[in-house]
Amino acid sequence: MLTPEEVGHIAGLARLGLSPEEIQTFGKQLSAILDYAHTLARLDTEQVAPTATVLALENVLAPDRAEPSLSQEDALANSPQVQDGQFRVTAIME
């Protein structure tokens, strides 16, 4: 079972603000998901080489030739706020 602190930390990494009640609720759900995923740990993988992918492909590479991009107008079309040809968001202060 994840502690409330762990749940809060994970939520923080995802930039989610959770109330104490939500931490309770989601903490239980997240723990259940992790437990379920953990059933995989029961498998004996002693003889199986670690793998980074399940794709049966390798060296899929494109030649270095520039092609046309989207227009600025199209690129910005989904943005709720635009200024000077750029996406505008609330400033994040470090």
CA 26 to chain centre: 17
Q: Does 92 bind another protein (CB under 8 A)?
A: yes
Shortest distance (Å) from residue 66 CB to another protein: 4
State the Cα angle at 31 between 55 and 29, rounded to 5°.
Answer: 95
Q: How far apart are CA 26 and CA 7, in angstroms?
A: 8
Which is closer to another protein, CB of 21 or CB of 90? 90
Q: CB–CB of 28/4 below 8 Å? A: no
Q: Does 85 bind another protein (CB under 8 A)?
A: yes
State the Cα angle at 11 between 32 and 7, rounded to 5°.
Answer: 45
* Residues 22-41, mask of contacts with another protein (x by CB under 8 A): --------------------
Q: Does 48 bind another protein (CB under 8 A)?
A: no
Residues near another protein, by CB under 8 A: 13-15, 52-53, 55, 57-67, 69-72, 75-76, 81, 83-92, 94
